[in-house]
Amino acid sequence: MSHTAKRWSRYIIAIVIIFSLNFIIPRAMPGDPLTNLLGEDVLLTDSSVIELRSEMGLDRSWSQQYLDYWWGILHLDLGYSFHRHSPVSEIIFSRMKWTLLLALPSLLLGGVLGTFLGALAGWRSHRKGQKMQTALFLAIYCTPPYFLCLLALYLLSFKLDLFPLKGFYTTGSAVDIAHHLFLPILVMTLFSLSRNYMIMRGSVLQEKSSLYAAFARAKGLYDDEILFRHVFKNALLPIITLLAMDFGFILSGALFVEIVFSMNGMGNLIYDALLSRDYPVLQGSFLIITIMVVSANLLADLLYSSLDPRVRWQ
């Protein structure tokens, strides 16, 4: 099998497996699959229960249900939330844009700054000031993201009253939104930055001792010139895939940030769904998140292939 075919097949298989997991879970979990599919605390009359059971295909064979499931997905039908009285896909898509508004700038900023600072950290690892900076980012790396939020909220909103406490907006103007978004994006960026920092630093530390870096120095290149003309790209390549895989982790972090800041994105959607046991929303969210994570991995893979000439020439 060619390299590209192998790669694509892995992604497709991954999606199939995860989606199938999503199918199996409510049906394999303890309890009545109907409850698992509808959510608990949904009030229904006995007759509507029977109706729903046949409507949802629960009286049909598993293989038939499986096919129906895939049919639904391909039509973007992610089920219906009885708690919110609307189709799951609608709910999710309306919330998703807020989460992306929070996550994407943080990811980009954290990614760029993190790799840049991390590269410098790896390059200048023996300098005193550098060690302090690394220790700081290490501490941030070790802090659960939601705790970072609580700290930020406490210090900057509660005590110093600099920023609003919750929500995406109060008046809806662009400035207002930016004001509300500042703290969450700050925390998210720090979170993403610290992770990228550590990974890039490690990679540069490894590449530092390579022969081509020594030869670059022998050619008369000075300090940072060696880093940015040679080592940076070599150090970045092997970790592009790592950084993309971290995307899933960072996205999960975003969910927590939303919860703490009481913002109406997917994070709080999932949280509420959790509290009210609204399983369809939970599963739908899981699917969407999976698609986003797998796409990120695919993008990173493609990016890597186009950047590394050794792969291109295979």
Partner 1 sequence: MSSPLANAAPLLQIEGLSVSFETPLGRVKAAQDVCFDLREGETLALVGETGCGKSVVASAIMKLLPHNASVQGRAVFAGRDLLALGEKEMARTRGSEIAIVFQNPSLSLNPIIRVGKQIAEMLQVHKGISRTRSLQMAEDMLSRLGLVKKETASMYPFQFSGGMNQRVMIATSMILSPRIIIADEPSKGLDGVLAGEVMAEMARIKDQVGASLLLITHDLLLARDISDRMAVMYCGEIVEIGKSREVFSEPLHPYTNALLSCLPERGFQPIPGSSPSMIEPPAGCKFHPRCPQKQDKCMRRPEMVQVESSGEFSGANESTGREVRCWLY
Partner 2 sequence: MPDVTKFSRGGLILFLSFLLMAVFSPALAPYDPWVRFEPYFPPGPEHLLGTNDMGHDILSELIFGSRVSLIVGFGAALMATLIGTAVGLLAGYFKGTTDEILMGITDIFLMIPQIPLIIVLAAFLRPSFWMVALLMGSLWWTSTARVVRSKALQVREMGFVQASRALGFSDRHIIFTDMLPNIFHVIMPKFMLSIASAMIAEASISFLGLGDPTMKSWGMMINFAFTRGGFINGYWWWYLTPGLCITLFVLSVVLLGFALEEQEEATMRLE
Give the total residue count for the chain.
314
By CB under 8 A, name the one of 151, 162, 299, 302 that touches partner 2: 151
Alpha carbon distance 237, 250 (integer Å): 20
Taking CA 197 as the corner, what is the angle to CA 247 and CA 263, rounded to the nearest 5 degrees?
A: 45
- Name the burial class of residue 285, with classes exposed (0-12), middle (13-18) and buried (19+) by CB atoms within 10 angstroms of its CB: buried
Rule CB under 8 A: is residue 223 a binding residue for partner 1?
A: yes
Q: Is 121 in the site for partner 2 (CB under 8 A)?
A: no
Binding test (CB under 8 A) with partner 2, winner from 3, 131, 229, 233: 131
Any long-range contacts for 66-74 (C-beta under 8 Å, 24+ apart)? 66/20, 66/23, 69/23, 70/19, 73/19, 73/287
Chain residues 102-131 in contact with partner 1, contact rule CB under 8 A: 126
Specify which residues 80 forms β-bridges with. 87
Q: Is 1 in the site for partner 1 (CB under 8 A)?
A: no
* Cβ atoms within 10 Å of 62's Cβ, excluding its own: 11
Would you tell me how many other CB atoms lie within 10 Å of the CB of residue 170? 12
78 binds partner 2 (CB under 8 A): no
**Residue 229 binds which of partner 1, partner 2, none (CB < 5-8 A, kind-dependent):** partner 1
Tell me which of 71, 158, 212, 215 binds partner 2, using CB under 8 A.
Answer: 158
Among 43, 74, 142, 211, binds partner 1 (CB under 8 A): 211
Regarding 212 and contact with partner 2 (CB under 8 A), the answer is no
Question: Does 270 sit near partner 2 (CB under 8 A)?
Answer: yes
Binding segment toward partner 2, per CB under 8 A, in 58-66, 78-86, 224-232, 290-298: 290-298
Contact partners, residue 95, CB within 8 Å, separation at least 6: 264, 265, 266, 268, 269
Dihedral over Cα of 119, 120, 121, 127: its sign: positive
274 binds partner 2 (CB under 8 A): yes
What does the alpha-carbon distance between residue 290 and residue 295 come to, in Å, rounded to a whole number?
8
| Cβ 60 to partner 1 shortest distance, Å | 55
Report yes or no: 191 and 253 within 8 Å, Cβ to Cβ: yes
The option from partner 2, partner 1, none interacting with 222 (CB < 5 to 8 A, set by class) reads partner 1
Q: Nearest distance from residue 211's CB to partner 1, in Å?
A: 4
What is the binding site for partner 2 (CB under 8 A)?
10-11, 13-14, 17-18, 21-22, 25-26, 29-30, 36, 126, 131, 135, 138-139, 141-147, 150-151, 153-154, 158, 245, 248-249, 251-252, 255-256, 259-260, 270-271, 274-275, 277, 279, 282-283, 285-286, 289-290, 293-294, 297
What is the binding site for partner 1 (CB under 8 A)?
126, 210-212, 214-223, 225, 229-230, 233-234, 237, 308-310, 313
